[in-house]
Amino acid sequence: MMLLDYILTSVAIGMTFLLGCTGEILTEKAGHLNLGIPGIMCIGGASGCLALKACYDLPGFLAVIIAIIAAILGGALMGAIYSFLTVTLKANQNVTGLAMTTFGVGVTKYVMNGMAINATRNYLYALKYFRAPFASADTGLKYWGIMMYLAIGIALASAYVLTRTRVGLHLRAVGENPATADAVGINVTAYKYGATCIGSAVAALGGLYYIMDYMGSMEAYKTIEALGWLSVALVIFTLWRPQISIIGSIIFGLLYLAGTRIPTLLGINLGMSATPLLQMLPYLVTIVVLIITSIGKKRENQPPASLGLSYFREER
Amino acid sequence: MNKQIAIEMKGVTKTFGSVIANKNVDLEVYRGEILAVLGENGCGKTTLMNMIAGIYYPDAGSIFIDGKEASIHSPADAFSYGIGMIHQHFKLVDLFTAAENIILGNHSGEKYNISKVSAEVRAIADRYGFHIDPDKKIYDMSVSEKQTVEIIKVLYRGADILILDEPSAVLTPQETDRLFDVLRKMREDGKSIIIITHKLHEVLSISDRVAVLRKGEHIGTVNTAETTAEALTEMMVGRKVELNIDRPAPENVQDRLIVKNLSMTNLDGIKVLDNISFTARSGEILGIAGIAGSGQRELLESIAGLNPLDCGEIVFNRPKKNLPVSFYHKSLADVKALAAEGKFHYEDGSAVDFTGKTNAEIRALVNAGKVLFNEDDVMNLRDKTPLQIREVGVRLSFVPEDRLGMGLVGNMDIVDNMMLRSYRKGSSVFVDRKKPSDLADRIVKELEVATPNTHTAVRRLSGGNVQKVLVGREIAAAPVVLMAAYPVRGLDINSSYTIYNLLTEQKKNGVAVVFVGEDLDVLLELCDRIMVICAGKITGIVDGRTVTKEEVGLLMTKTDSDVKKEA
């Protein structure tokens, strides 16, 4: 029973990684390494919560929809700022991304602190609507709310678009070789903006899911950043494929919870100091995958060729 | 001629900052003709064509297509006018298949169906006589296959006007012939074809008319049938150019670099060099001919100390016997140690014994040239790194095929690139910038490198100028062995002949020159001996003065079975 609960909970937390990872994959496929994902996930959570607080009296179903839209808008806005800086102004992507994370985490702290102190008309009233249709707190499925199906749906849709449609082909071309894409008449800037904004919006949903569904707690925003970094690591683990990221996110969920669950499962007491060691597992696995794919040298498993590079058209 | 005009350019001007790339160009292209656009490097050929293809937009002037004024702001606009350009650097996504690259950027309303595209690609290929597998990934393709994909891509989109930028620069003679056959078929089909090139014999063999550009200006357009190579060159350069390569007889020939039974396997486990043995001699140019990728690159890299070998020896021979010892390469301590080993003798043949002599006396003897070597200085360069080779005093210069990858650092300026060879000199913790700076000035002046100043990043220079900087630096190192791989690839006539003359000059100075070339005509004119390799094996070493082009061509494609038949 404890094992089953461990697995089901892992699937649930995995969805946070899945949303963040799918968002980052879409951005990276356009050739942009968005290290602002952790900050964007935080902003997604914060803007969703702000919207929930504002529409306190609306029916639950509407409240959830509005929160999701708010998170999407918050994420897309962050994506637009990032795109403006890196696509239009051609700023360094790594530095810009890190700045976006710092900015996003800071703003979220400010917003969420205010809401935590002022407990009346709090956003957490919506928790039960998010966890519908399996709202019962008694079963292991208690976290399996609508956003979870949304996450898997988005990942599958992204995989389909990337591999089976013209838009996906164009997007991959932009990330692999923007000069080529430009020469055949693809609007490189539009694809970069589009992929980054949509990717950021998807990642932002991850933050909302974590606060409103998985954790359902006032303090949850404090740990989103760490999960965001794991999502970025998960992109490498999944070899830039959204369909693999569904499995990958569950594996990461298992590994993420290993530190607290496995000692309990085995009935041993590791003590406080050993838990962080087990929490390193997702990162270790990522490094191992990175090494294996580098040895393999298969071109399909490498990051998009122009990842992290700005595209200048007039350069001769 | 009552042919229909396809494109007409009127007064087209384009500037980049203060540089005028094209000035007031008038040019027309007819339907069903092949027009060659000829000019030296940096004369604005490619810029002019890029304006038709929508990469750049003209600052002044207008372009008419089928008699109507067209404004081409982007490659997509160009496609809508039926214009397609095949760039010199292929614009293909390596990770995609041929069919995916061909469909890329196509916004027609049809549903995305890659297998249907593959079938259409095959149909186009059959019609014009291409050979292609639409489902093959680009990274698995040879250069000529990639070019085929580029051409089909343009045809697939229904282009009537094709622009090819230096299409033969990377092809073998046979592949070029095949390409030209295809182009002739397209001409019969009523398509207009523009070829940007600087190879005169190609211009003469394929084009109907030739437009010559010089320094951004259109000098004139002539019918190919009514012109000669000399006349075109004069139009192109603005003065008469001798198209002859001076080939003095080798003097004072000595065996310099002896390669014995060299074999090498690359990272993919393929044997790229198989039992290569040859001798490069001082005062002589040894040409290496072969189809691209036959092991030329690996051979030169092995000699330069960049590749580990399976077996074989690379012996560097510095004739020293009966020549005086100097302090140029050896310190006093070295000289003493060698003397103790009995390596030296006096002029009269008696053994040298420094015991009991003071350092000043030894110095005096050596400087007077009284101490002579017993033996030639022979050393094996195998398994030595480039730095170790330099440290043992072998001045080996290498002009690699990949100029900006292995030869120079693109983002650094000319002076800094000079320092790559001299940064170890001097004893202070600071590098000496004065000498490299002087050297850069000298190279820019003597080789006529077109650059704003010596502090321009090398990657901003055009291909020919990059090559001049690289060759200039390597020659300035006063080499004993000079190896050059495709040093004139992508260069115009004038720059090419500058490079050939530099190589000949080095040969006269007693340098052993190894020249890997692709243009057989040049190899036959320039080299004293030609070594032909095919699939990593030597198929023959012939005399450059007596051999014919056909004989070399046969050796280039000689297969194992041919060799066995002869044996």
> Residue B567: what pLDDT?
46
CA distance A166 to chain B (A): 6
**Which of A29, A169, A314 to substitute to test the interface with B, most B CBs within 10 Å?**
A169
A304 → chain B, closest CA residue? B95
CA distance A159 to chain B (A): 15
Neighbours of B286 (CB within 10 A): 24
**Which of B52, B93, B152 to substitute to test the interface with A, most A CBs within 10 Å?**
B93
Q: Touching check for B19 and chain A: CB below 8 Å?
A: no
CA distance A315 to chain B (A): 9
Q: Touching check for A155 and chain B: CB below 8 Å?
A: no
> Residue B1: what pLDDT?
46
Q: Touching check for A241 and chain B: CB below 8 Å?
A: no
> Residue B559: what pLDDT?
62
> Cβ contact (<8 Å) for B104 and A186?
yes
Coil, helix or strand at residue B207:
coil
Domains, chain A: 2-315 (1.10.3470)
> Cβ contact (<8 Å) for A305 and B107?
no
A-B interface: how many C-beta pairs under 8 angstroms?
67
- Strand B284-289 to B217-223 pairing: unpaired
CA distance A21 to chain B (A): 22
> Cβ contact (<8 Å) for B91 and A184?
yes
Q: Give me the residue from A166, A185, A316 closest to B79, CB to CB.
A: A185
**Dihedral sign, CA of A58, A60, A65, A70?**
positive
Coil, helix or strand at residue A67:
helix
Judged by phi (left if over 0) then psi (alpha if -120 to 50, else beta), residue B253 lies in beta
Q: Touching check for B252 and chain A: CB below 8 Å?
A: no
Q: Cis bond leading into A133, ω under 30°?
A: yes
> Cβ contact (<8 Å) for B91 and A165?
no
A174 → chain B, closest CA residue? B93
- Spell out which residues of chain B touch residue A185, defining contact as CB-CB under 8 Å: 74-76, 79, 105, 107
| Residues with Cβ within 8 Å of residue A284, at least 6 apart in sequence | none
B83 → chain A, closest CA residue? A184
Tens of pLDDT, residue by residue, chain B (567 residues): 457 888 999 999 988 877 788 889 999 899 999 999 988 767 788 889 889 988 888 999 999 998 888 888 887 888 889 898 888 778 899 899 999 999 887 776 677 888 888 998 999 888 888 888 999 999 888 778 888 899 999 888 888 999 998 887 767 677 788 889 999 999 998 899 999 887 788 888 899 999 998 888 898 899 998 988 888 888 887 777 666 778 888 888 888 888 999 898 877 777 888 889 999 998 899 999 887 778 888 899 888 888 888 888 888 887 777 777 777 667 777 777 777 777 777 877 777 777 777 888 888 877 877 777 777 777 888 888 888 888 777 888 898 888 888 888 988 999 999 888 877 777 778 888 888 899 999 988 888 888 888 888 888 887 778 888 998 898 888 888 999 988 887 677 777 888 898 899 999 988 999 999 877 888 888 999 999 988 888 988 999 889 887 788 778 777 655 555 544
Report which of B530, B533, B519 is spatially closest to residue B294, judged by C-alpha positions.
B533
What distance in Å separates the CA atoms of residue B109 and residue B106, rounded to the nearest whole number? 9
What distance in Å separates the CA atoms of residue B33 and residue B35, rounded to the nearest whole number? 6
Residue ranges in chain A whose pLDDT is less than 50: 315-316
Q: Touching check for B116 and chain A: CB below 8 Å?
A: no
Q: Touching check for A298 and chain B: CB below 8 Å?
A: no
A164 → chain B, closest CA residue? B112
| Residues with Cβ within 8 Å of residue B398, at least 6 apart in sequence | B300, B304, B474, B483, B484
Q: Touching check for A177 and chain B: CB below 8 Å?
A: yes
What distance in Å separates the CA atoms of residue B535 and residue B556, rounded to the nearest whole number? 9
- Spell out which residues of chain A touch residue B79, defining contact as CB-CB under 8 Å: 184-185
> Residue B402: what pLDDT?
80
> Cβ contact (<8 Å) for A299 and B137?
yes
**Which of A166, A302, A312, A313 to substitute to test the interface with B, most B CBs within 10 Å?**
A166
CA distance B536 to chain A (A): 25
Coil, helix or strand at residue A66:
helix
Domains, chain B: 5-237 (3.40.50.300), 242-317+388-393+479-567 (3.40.50.300), 320-375 (no CATH), 405-477 (no CATH)
> Cβ contact (<8 Å) for B105 and A170?
yes
Q: Touching check for B76 and chain A: CB below 8 Å?
A: yes
> Cβ contact (<8 Å) for B95 and A176?
yes
Q: Tokens at residue B358, please? A: 């003071």
> Cβ contact (<8 Å) for A164 and B103?
no
- Spell out which residues of chain B touch residue A173, defining contact as CB-CB under 8 Å: 93, 96, 104-105
B462 → chain A, closest CA residue? A316
> Residue A207: what pLDDT?
94
> Cβ contact (<8 Å) for B87 and A183?
yes
Q: Give me the residue from B56, B94, B103 closest to A305, CB to CB.
A: B94
> Residue A140: what pLDDT?
58
- Spell out which residues of chain A touch residue B87, defining contact as CB-CB under 8 Å: 183
Query: Taking the C-alpha atoms of A193, A194, A195 and A201 in order, what is their torsion angle to the nearest 10 degrees?
Result: 100
- Spell out which residues of chain A touch residue B138, defining contact as CB-CB under 8 Å: none
- Strand B192-197 to B161-165 pairing: parallel
CA distance B390 to chain A (A): 33
